C-alpha cells in the first residue's frame, strides 16, 4: 500500500518553483486586469460621437439575421428537435439534425449542404400538416428550446432600435412561421423568412421560390424598405455570416455579430463595427485586439518578468 501513498492528499512545503508559479500567476492576473480596463476604455472612446440609433428617425430600421446572431445555433434545428419530441419523425433523422446543429455551433459557419438537408427534411416532415397546427407547436418549441438561447447582447441592440422608435425585422432562411413566432416573442416588428407553400392551410412540401439566403436576403430587405419608405443609408443590419454580406452592404450601418472568419476579415477591411457575444466581450471596431489575445500576452509577459526577478 505504501506504493499508493502518492494518491493520498498531504501537506507539502512550498518549494521555490511553487512560489515562483504563485508570484507569476498573481502578476499575470494584475496585468490582465489592467489590459482589460484599457481595452474597455478604448472601446468607449471608439464609439461614435453621433447618437445611434437616432431617436425618432422613422425612415431608419434595423434588420437582424437570426441563426448565431440573435439565437445560439440554428432555429430550424431547434424546431426539428421539438418535432421529434412530438413524434413527427424517427430517431435516425434526429441524429442527423443533432450532428448538423453541433457542427454549426462548433464551426460557427453555415454549411450549405447541411442547411439544404435540414430544409428538405423539414419540408418532408410538415407535408400534409396544417399551418395552424405547426404555428401552435412552434410556440411550444420556442419556450422549450429557443427562449434560453437568445443572445442578451444582440437582444439589447434590437431593443435600442425599438426604444428609438424604429422598426426591427428578423431576416432569415428559417421558415417564416418560426421566424414570426420568435420576432413576436422578442417584441420585434416582424420577420422575413423562407415561405413554404400551402394550399387551403395545408403544407404541400414545396417552397415558394427558394430559401431566403444570401443575395435573396438583400432583395427582401430592399423590397421591404421600398414598401415601408425607409432610407437604407440610415438603416442598420446585423449578421454573423459572410453569406449575408449582400444584406450588410446594403445599409449605412452594418454590424458583424459573432462573425465567422470570412466576415471578420471583410468587416476589418471596411472598418465595420463588431460585437462578439460568444466570449462575453465586445469590440467597437474589428481592429481592436481580442480580449483573449491581450490576456495571453499579459500572462506570458508577467510570467517572464517574475522568472527574471527570481533568477536575479
Q: What are the catalytic residues?
A: 65, 67
Tell me how far apart the alpha carbons of residues 88 and 84 are, in angstroms, rounded to a whole number: 5
90: left (phi over 0), alpha (psi -120 to 50) or beta: beta
Please name every residue paired with 171 in a beta bridge, in sequence order, or none if there are none. Answer: 192
Tell me how far apart the alpha carbons of residues 213 and 243 are, in angstroms, rounded to a whole number: 8
Tell me how far apart the alpha carbons of residues 208 and 197 are, in angstroms, rounded to a whole number: 5
3-state secondary structure of 72: coil
Q: Nearest Cα to 63, choosing from 168, 182, 154, 160?
A: 168
228 burial type by CB count under 10 A (0-12 exposed, 13-18 middle, 19+ buried): middle
Tell me how far apart the alpha carbons of residues 259 and 240 are, in angstroms, rounded to a whole number: 4
Pairing, β 202-207 against β 196-199 = antiparallel
Q: Which cell goes with 92? A: 435516425
Please list, in sequence order, all residues whose beta carbon lies within 8 angstroms of the beta carbon of residue 162, skipping any fewer than 6 positions away. 168, 187, 188
Contact yes or no for 123/196 (Cβ under 8 A): yes
Measured CA to CA in angstroms, residue 93 lies from 79, 120, 177, 271 at distances of: 13, 12, 22, 42
Amino acid at each position: 500500500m505504501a506504493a499508493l501513498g502518492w494518491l493520498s492528499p498531504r501537506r507539502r512545503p512550498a518549494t521555490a518553483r511553487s512560489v515562483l508559479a504563485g508570484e507569476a500567476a498573481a502578476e499575470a492576473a494584475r496585468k490582465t486586469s489592467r489590459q482589460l480596463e484599457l481595452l474597455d476604455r478604448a472601446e468607449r472612446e471608439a464609439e461614435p460621437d453621433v447618437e445611434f440609433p437616432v431617436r425618432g428617425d422613422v425612415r431608419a430600421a434595423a434588420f437582424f439575421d437570426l441563426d448565431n446572431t440573435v439565437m445560439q445555433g440554428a432555429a430550424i434545428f431547434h424546431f426539428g428537435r421539438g418535432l421529434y419530441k412530438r413524434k413527427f419523425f424517427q430517431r435516425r433523422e434526429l441524429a442527423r439534425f443533432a450532428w448538423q446543429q453541433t457542427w454549426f455551433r462548433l464551426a460557427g459557419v453555415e454549411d450549405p449542404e447541411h442547411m439544404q438537408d435540414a430544409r428538405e427534411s423539414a419540408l418532408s416532415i410538415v407535408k400534409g400538416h396544417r399551418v395552424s397546427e405547426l404555428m401552435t407547436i412552434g410556440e411550444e418549441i420556442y419556450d422549450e428550446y429557443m427562449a434560453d438561447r437568445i443572445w442578451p447582447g444582440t437582444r439589447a441592440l434590437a431593443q435600442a432600435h425599438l426604444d428609438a422608435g424604429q422598426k426591427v425585422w428578423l431576416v432569415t432562411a428559417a421558415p417564416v412561421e418560426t421566424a414570426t413566432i420568435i420576432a413576436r416573442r422578442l417584441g420585434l416588428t416582424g420577420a422575413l423568412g423562407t415561405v413554404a407553400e400551402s394550399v387551403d392551410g395545408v403544407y404541400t412540401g414545396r417552397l415558394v421560390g427558394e430559401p431566403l439566403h444570401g443575395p435573396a436576403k438583400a432583395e427582401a430587405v430592399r423590397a421591404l424598405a421600398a414598401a415601408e419608405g425607409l432610407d437604407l443609408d440610415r438603416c442598420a443590419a446585423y449578421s454573423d455570416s459572410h453569406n449575408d454580406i449582400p444584406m450588410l452592404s446594403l445599409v449605412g450601418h452594418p454590424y458583424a455579430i459573432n462573425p465567422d472568419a470570412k466576415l471578420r476579415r471583410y468587416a476589418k477591411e471596411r472598418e465595420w463595427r463588431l460585437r462578439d457575444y460568444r466570449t462575453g466581450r465586445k469590440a467597437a471596431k474589428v481592429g481592436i485586439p481580442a480580449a483573449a489575445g491581450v490576456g495571453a500576452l499579459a500572462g506570458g509577459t508577467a510570467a517572464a518578468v517574475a522568472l527574471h526577478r527570481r533568477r536575479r
